[in-house]
Chain A
């Protein structure tokens, strides 16, 4: 029986790439409205983990339940889950042949069957929220990296998802553009969105996360509220990792 307060519940989940064991025995219960930050060294499986939540990657063992829908081979379930989860990628992945506005209204019109003028109204509202309504008629290639990532966030929000997945949203940005994206994410967190973020932005984690999860070698090593996680890490691998990214 799924707890009705769970947004995502992952039980004993394993993921293999061929013979490579990428995720090992993952157990995770994420409540509605909770903000999770996942960190860990590269290759630790953190991106793979959140890509499993909307089936960009397929898990082999165990179960993933998103908002009460079981993620299995049933295509209707996969569609249902993808409608309810928005995703933001490291490299933005905007559609370069469409304007910013077209990027935002495409899925609401095709998937949610929204009428164009309503979809456009919602999209403009969200573009205003990420502070770039004036770029609506431009093409992604004409925007800076930070602007593109904010468009990508608005595009995901246009589907009115219940959960937002962020896969290293600031890793491909020039340093001076990171804060404009983080500001949008902080705003979203304050509105009560359920967020699962893979990121190395520890300031962001301290500020908004309810729980920080540390992964290494395909396993969840440690999870704790940010104060405890940063000030009093229990596991030595966590300590070593924090020493590396905070120590300079």
Chain B
């Protein structure tokens, strides 16, 4: 039987790594004390001395020293659903769950074909839209202006990604065009949009576009904002995809050409699958940024989750509890972003195994 080297014992390793000199010992103990103090304080504030039930809310903020989670218990529906009519909020909840489920399912490899993915998302969006807007089968009509909270955040993120990603592919291919005028024009468009702040683009699409376009093209403000944001996303993502394409050896395209494959076959079977693999970490990064920046729509009057969080503590009854509300909203953001980045890590591992 082959011998394996198991290395030094745990204690020896800890001593070597953290206590090897007097200075190291001091630094180690100092940081350990600091970390323990932070964790202990958070534990005391967030759990031990916290007030959980709205019934005890009179104790909140009066020297109890703990967090007032009662505000979440009392106001969570406002945070999750915004201005959606109170009696109808179950619709918003199911709609939100439908989009999250659709997103989750599209992470499963079985769905990774153009036909299955598009069928999945068409159904997902249809369910979301019908439930949110209503106006039939006895569901009362709720216009887009009253959508809000988590449902709105997720809807904006999903739509921006779904419109933006195909657009990004088209932009990247045009930027790579062999016809210099097309490539150059696309380059100028991408650079222009990338040089503008997202805020100004959202403003333009929400406020300025209605003056410019004919009436039938204007659509609801929400959809204009989504289109503007998708355009912004597409320009960034196009550059990421272009980087992925350029990192491929020229021999890949040549081999496909020599086999007689057409341009679109080469793009969809040889170039893009490999380009996306190369660009995966940057793509996940871009998706995370896009998710978080959905909060900017608040400035043109949409009530996404951060804004409805503001509203949750924004009355005389709860106005002391902003820290608790922000912690809660932060936790929701964290849940989604963390899931996304773990999924990205899973994809990278999966591809590494395949290609080894």
A residues with CB within 8 A of B: 54-56, 79, 82-83, 85-87, 89, 91, 93-97, 106-107, 110-111, 139, 141-142, 152, 155-156, 159, 165
Contact = CB atoms under 8 A, between A and B. Distances in A.
B7 interface: no
Given A89-B251, A93-B249, A82 B356 contact: no
Nearest to B264: A110
Contacts of A56: 254, 257-258
Contact of B260 (A82, A94, A141): A82
Given A87-B258, A89-B258, A106-B261, 10 more contacts: A54-B258, A55-B257, A82-B259, A86-B259, A89-B254, A89-B255, A93-B249, A96-B355, A111-B259, A111-B260
Given A91-B249, A97-B277, A97-B355, A83 B260 contact: yes
B259 A142 contact: no
A76 to B, nearest CB: 11
6 contacts: A83-B260, A91-B249, A97-B355, A106-B269, A110-B261, A139-B355
Interface of B: 249, 251-252, 254-262, 265, 269-270, 273-274, 277, 354-356
Contacts of A155: 259
A56 B252 CA distance: 12
Contacts of B277: 97
A93 B265 contact: no
B126 to A, nearest CB: 33
A159 B260 contact: yes
A110 B274 contact: no
B261 A93 contact: no
B92 to A, nearest CB: 41
A18 to B, nearest CB: 15
A75 B270 CA distance: 20
A86 B258 contact: yes
A141 B255 CA distance: 17
A111 B258 CA distance: 11
Nearest to B255: A93
Given A89-B251, A139-B355, A110 B258 contact: no
A86 B256 CA distance: 11
A67 B192 CA distance: 50
Given A79-B260, A139-B355, A96 B274 contact: yes
Contacts of B260: 79, 82-83, 107, 111, 159
Contacts of A159: 259-260
A56 B256 CA distance: 11
Contacts of B269: 106, 110
B270 A82 contact: no
A88 B304 CA distance: 57
Contacts of B261: 106-107, 110-111
A160 to B, nearest CB: 11
Contact of A142 (B255, B273, B274, B356): B356
Contact of A110 (B257, B265, B356): B265
A111 B259 CA distance: 8
A85 B356 contact: no
Contact of A93 (B254, B273, B355, B356): B254
Contacts of B256: 95, 107
A141 B259 contact: no
Contacts of B259: 82, 86, 106-107, 111, 155-156, 159
A87 B256 CA distance: 10
A54 B255 CA distance: 11
B96 to A, nearest CB: 35
Given A96-B274, A97-B273, A85 B258 contact: yes
Nearest to B356: A141
A91 B262 CA distance: 22
A93 B251 contact: yes
Nearest to A108: B259
A93 B258 CA distance: 11
A110 B254 CA distance: 16
Contacts of B265: 110-111
A231 B354 CA distance: 51
B353 to A, nearest CB: 10
A95 B274 CA distance: 9
A115 B274 CA distance: 25
A55 B257 CA distance: 9
Contact of B354 (A94, A107, A139): A139
A79 B262 contact: yes
Task: Point out which of B258, B273, B274, B277 has the most chain A C-beta atoms below 10 A from its C-beta.
Answer: B258
A56 B257 CA distance: 8
A49 B259 CA distance: 18
Most central of A97, A142, A155, A165 by chain B CB within 10 Å: A97
A155 B260 CA distance: 12
B319 to A, nearest CB: 56
Contacts of A83: 260
B255 A95 contact: yes
A136 B254 CA distance: 23
B262 A97 contact: no
